[in-house]
Chains A and B, each alone.
Chain A
Amino acid sequence: MRGAFFRALVEIAEQDERVHLVVGDLGFGVVEEFARRFPKRFLNAGVAEQNMTGIAAGLALSGKIVFTYSIANFPILRCLEQVRNDVCYHNTNVKIVAVGGGLAYGALGATHHATEDLAILRSLPRMTVVAPGDPVEAEAATRAVTAHAGPCYLRLGRAGEGKVHQMPIDFVLGKAIEMRRGRDLTLISTGGMLGTAMQTADLLQAADVQARVLSMHTVKPLDTTAIESAVRETGAIFTLEEHSVVGGLGGAVAEFLAENCEAPVVFKRFGLPSEFSSFIGSQEYIRARHGLAAEAVAHAIRAKLEKVEGLAAVAKV
């Protein structure tokens, strides 16, 4: 996703002279092309994220479209009040980009796990929260947040993920992409879990369970229309994210379901527990240890459905 983002950003900057890139002394090997081609629109603010974010707001208040860039929690939590007051309150055209969303920097330890970001950023007024599912979505999202007037948070995974989308996509902020049709349940994914969601659907298909898959690349504003259709047409909703189960995609969907559905909906969140992960290892390893591998997710979905069916059968007796 990182490569897709920078490729798109360079193309956008060629077209739009307002586009600036401000980095927090990170991005070795990836920021150089932008810096070389647009030296007057590039800035390394140093290891000083509060100032980086304030500067971005000041540039944006002067008519620029400013991308701030750093890794994991640094451009959001270290400077959260600057994000809230300077960026959001002033409704600035600042686009905060964090690479390493979720467990991408898994082996570096919990300081580098960005696993509460969606919940925290989602709670800020005016903030649009985007977590693309693969490099194709990352490129489209980069263009979409540039065109969107106002603050955005773009949560990228890491470098070198494979594409999940094999065809060109129609990417609209706040509109989920239906990846796969299905009538038995809906699996809603955000961020880099999209590939896992598709594998899960394959596994369920082998058991004759037809899963609809939605890529909910925009966590805020949430595509409630797609969720309503999913409830009506499939009856069961499962969310999948590389994020705490508190307050992220699963939390957002749960809030919507609890307030808007007349009948109970079969629902389960797949994500990380609200704990500091003590597992050291690759992204895949830590995901697996938290039950986020496709096999485990498929198994848990089937168990949930069987339990619900069992309860329904008991109720009939």
Chain B
Amino acid sequence: MTGTNLECAESASLARKIRVQAARMIHRAKSSHLGSAYSMADLLAVLYGRILRIDPRQPEAAERDRFVLSKGHACAALYAVLAERGFFPKEWLEDFYQDGARLAGHVTHVGVPGVEVSTGSLGHGLPIACGMALAGRRDGSGYRVFAMLSDGECDEGSTWEAALFAGHHRLDNLIAIVDYNKIQSLGTVKEVLDLEPFAEKWRAFGWGVWEIDGHDLTQIEETLMRVPAESNKPTCVMAHTVKGKGVSFMENNLLWHYRAPDREEMSKAMVELGVEE
């Protein structure tokens, strides 16, 4: 049974916590990429609340599902959900990206339970995820490998090398989630390097593809519960998202790829997120 009101309320609550924590982290650190964190916040909430077979007490258990954050710049959201799930103390979030901190501004595995892979240079995550998926299959293990990709990093040739490989080898334990927020570093995806027909590209590379609303918690959960999309194929979940989703003045605005909210913006954002400061 999926997508009941209760479960959606849980996911919504977790997504809200992710957004609140990420804003606080980026505000304190005066760092970047809040918009990128927000576009995948609902996806992360469902993954970490409902989908991934993981145990914070055994972050390296052999049979755990693997989650690879390939869009490492959006790591504030991942750190937030890992802390919420108890992989490490929430206090670690407080000095994110600051002098002497444990948590770096692009996702880093060193000393951080629950982080499988360090990324930050784009186009690295999917090849590594392919290796993990292949190992799982060759070992007869039942774990799945989920990789979260940005749309911008689908400019990288290495992403398509891996897409070709996974399709050829029919890695049906591999799920790529594309956070298709349609804004990359210097403009819209359409302006910079158009990826359309995007879903068709993945299909042509041998993947089963589902297109979903990446902010519809029920749809996200129902989709991820049913992977693989097609038997004997890797799955691409093309999640249509909104950069900066959740705070009106950040939504669909390239500025929030870079800007850290100031005090006034924080107050407005917290109101929109339902937090009383």
Interface residues of A (CB under 8 A from B): 40-41, 43, 45-46, 48, 50-51, 53-64, 81-82, 85-86, 89-90
Chain A residues lying within 8 Å of B162, measured Cβ to Cβ, are 51, 54-55
With a cutoff of 8 Å between Cβ atoms, the chain A residues found around residue B130 in the complex are: 51, 54-55, 58
**In B94-149, which residues have CB < 8 Å from any A CB?**
109, 116-121, 123-124, 126-136, 138-139
Contact A59 B157 (CB under 8 A): no
Q: Are A85 and B127 in contact (CB under 8 A)?
A: no
Contact of B164 with A by CB under 8 A: yes
Task: Please name the residue on chain A nearest to B125 by beta carbon.
Answer: A54
- Tell me if B165 and A61 are in contact (CB < 8 A): no
Residue pairs across A and B with Cβ atoms less than 8 A apart, 8 shown, are A46-B165, A48-B164, A53-B127, A54-B126, A54-B158, A58-B135, A59-B135, A64-B135
- CB distance B139 to A62 under 8 Å? yes
Within the assembled complex, what's the spacing in Å between the Cα atoms of A45 and B130?
11
Say whether A86 contacts B124, CB under 8 Å: yes
How far, in angstroms, from A55 to B130 measured CA to CA in the complex? 6
Could you say which of B124, B127, B165 has the most chain A C-beta atoms within 10 Å of its C-beta?
B127
Indicate if B161 sits at the interface (CB-CB under 8 A).
yes
Contact for B127 among A51, A63, A64, A90, CB less than 8 A: A51
Chain B residue contacts of A62, Cβ below 8 A: 131-132, 135-136, 139
CA distance in complex: A55, B166 (Å) = 10
**Contact: A51 with B124, CB < 8 Å?**
no
Least distance between A80 CB and chain B CB atoms (Å): 11
In the complex, what's the smallest C-beta–C-beta distance from B211 to chain A, in angstroms? 25
Is A55's CB under 8 angstroms from B157's CB?
A: no
Nearest B-chain residue to A54, judged by Cβ = B127
- The answer to whether A50 touches B165, judged by C-beta atoms less than 8 angstroms apart, is no
Q: How far is the CA of A58 from the CA of B134 in the complex (A)?
A: 9
- Contact call B161/A50, Cβ cutoff below 8 A: yes
- Chain A residues with CB under 8 Å of B132's CB are 58-59, 61-62
Of A41, A50, A59, A62, most B-chain CB atoms within 10 Å: A62
Contacts of B117 in A (CB 8 A): 61, 86, 90
Interface of A is mostly: helix
Measured in the bound complex, the distance between the Cα atoms of B116 and A64 in whole Å is 16
Given A62-B139, A81-B121, A57-B158 contact (CB < 8 Å): no
Knowing A48-B161, A51-B161 are in contact, say whether A82-B109 is a contact too (CB < 8 A): no
* Chain B residues positioned under 8 Å from A89 (CB to CB): 118
For residue A17, give the distance in angstroms from its CB to the closest CB of chain B: 10
Does B128 contact A86, Cβ atoms closer than 8 Å?
A: yes
Who on chain A is nearest to B126 by CB? Answer: A54
Closest to A40 in B: B138
Return the 10 tightest CB-CB contacts between A and B, nearest first. A58-B131, A54-B127, A62-B135, A51-B161, A55-B131, A48-B161, A50-B158, A58-B128, A58-B132, A59-B131
Across the interface, do B164 and A46 meet the contact criterion of CB distance under 8 Å? yes
Most buried by B among A55, A61, A81, A86: A55
Q: In chain B, what residue has the closest Cβ to A66?
A: B131
Instruction: With A46-B164, A58-B131, A59-B132 given, name 9 new contacts (CB 8 A).
Output: A40-B138, A50-B123, A50-B157, A54-B126, A54-B127, A55-B131, A58-B128, A59-B134, A85-B119
Selected contact of A85 from candidates B116, B121, B131, B165, CB within 8 Å: B121
Among B124, B126, B128, B157, find the residue whose CB has the most chain A CB atoms closer than 10 A. Answer: B128
Q: How far is the CB of A173 from chain B (nearest CB, A)?
A: 25
Q: Which residue of B lies closest to A81 (CB)?
A: B121
Complex alpha-carbon distance, A61 and B136, angstroms? 11
- CB closest chain-A residue, reference B165: A51
CB neighbours (8 Å) of A45 from chain B are 165
Instruction: Say how far B191's CB is from chain A's closest CB, in angstroms.
Output: 26
B109 touches A55 (CB 8 A): no
